[in-house]
Amino acid sequence: MSATSPTVGDRLVHKEFPPITRHRLALYCGASGDHNPIHVDIDFAKAAGFPDVFSHGMLVMGYLGQALTDAVAPSRIRSFSTRFAAITQLGAKLTCEGTVTELIEQGGEHRGVGRNCNRSKTALPRPVLTGGGLG
Amino acid sequence: MVDQSAVGREFTSVTARVEPGRLRFFLDTLGETNPVYRDETAAQAAGFTAAPVPPTYLFCLEMMDATMPFEFLTALGIDLARVLHGEQRFDYHAPVVVGDVLTFKPRVTSVTDKKGGAMTLIVVETEVTNQAGVHVADLSRTVVVRNARPS
């Protein structure tokens, strides 16, 4: 978000990420502390009824968070939420797009509400941003 | 199947330290190169006393330092293989930076059946405080349980 007077419809974010690989999921398993085998162990995933391992939702949200703080200083984010609309499969190439959807005043601050989504529609986050430069 | 009796259940508090090496592993995994997370000077220029954590990292800290990371599933009799992450929310009240020692207190706040009982949504809310007792954040996790079909 620009530091001065954002308006509804402004594009905050556009960022592409590399395809999700098994290696990335293994790294994320260790780096995040989420050791659920469904993301790294194909035998476990199949036994659970899935064709293969799939991404941690929080890896997708981590990418969205990265795209967000490329545009907005971390200290200005008040809230960040995501609905995981679909499973992110191996090989998925995420593109994060974010626009300002609303400007509000809350807690004595001018806040912008943004919606980010990625093109494969696996996550629909709604970060609430704020800062002296907003509004 | 999990029912309304689960609402209000609390689980073991988790204490986690924001360690620079573990944070760097997370940043490297996500390909995060933003200097605010890696360089103390950049962090201070952005108004932090030390490098801040990325927006989703609180979720990781709780799992990394929990003695039983999936305690709430075990305690409620839920099979890990039947769980998906439905929604996640973070509300930030104060900065979290490298060196902080955080306490996470999770509790179940709602249980909702969907699709005639085929799925159950469980919301776990977690209050996070730091070493000074400052309430720094609230997490809300919605877990989707794919219930077994009756045979």
Interface test with A, best of B85, B102, B121, B143 (most A CBs within 10 A): B85
On chain B, the residues whose CB falls within 8 A of the CB of A38 are 80-81
Q: What is the pLDDT of residues A119-130, one digit of tens each?
A: 544 455 555 554
CA atoms within a 13 Å half-sphere pointing along the CA-CB vector of B9: 19
- The CA distance from A72 to B95, in Å, is 15
Spell out which residues of chain B touch residue A37, defining contact as CB-CB under 8 Å: 80
> Which residue among B26, B65, B86 places its CB closest to the CB of A31?
B26
**CATH dotted code for A11-130:** 3.10.129.10
Q: Output A114 or A69, whichever has higher pLDDT.
A: A69
Instruction: Tell me if residue B36 falls in helix, strand or coil.
Output: helix
Distance, CA of B35 to CA of A5 (rounded, Å): 25
| Predicted confidence (pLDDT) per residue in B43-90, tens digit | 999 999 999 999 999 999 999 999 998 999 999 999 999 999 999 999
Tokens 């929080």 belong to A58
CB burial class (10 A; 0-12, 13-18, 19+) of residue B50?
middle
Contacts with B88 from chain A: Cβ below 8 Å: 57-58, 61, 81-82, 84
What six digits make up the tokens of B87? 């929604």
Model ipTM value: 0.95
The answer to whether the Cβ–Cβ distance between A82 and B54 falls below 8 Å is: no
Domain B4-18+58-146: assigned CATH number:
3.10.129.10
For A79-94, write each residue's pLDDT tens digit.
999 888 889 999 988 8
Measure the CA–CA gap between B7 and B5, rounded to whole angstroms: 6
SS3 state at A99: strand
Q: Which residues of A touch B54 (CB under 8 A)?
A: 62, 65-66, 69, 74
A95 — pLDDT class (breaks 50, 70, 90): confident
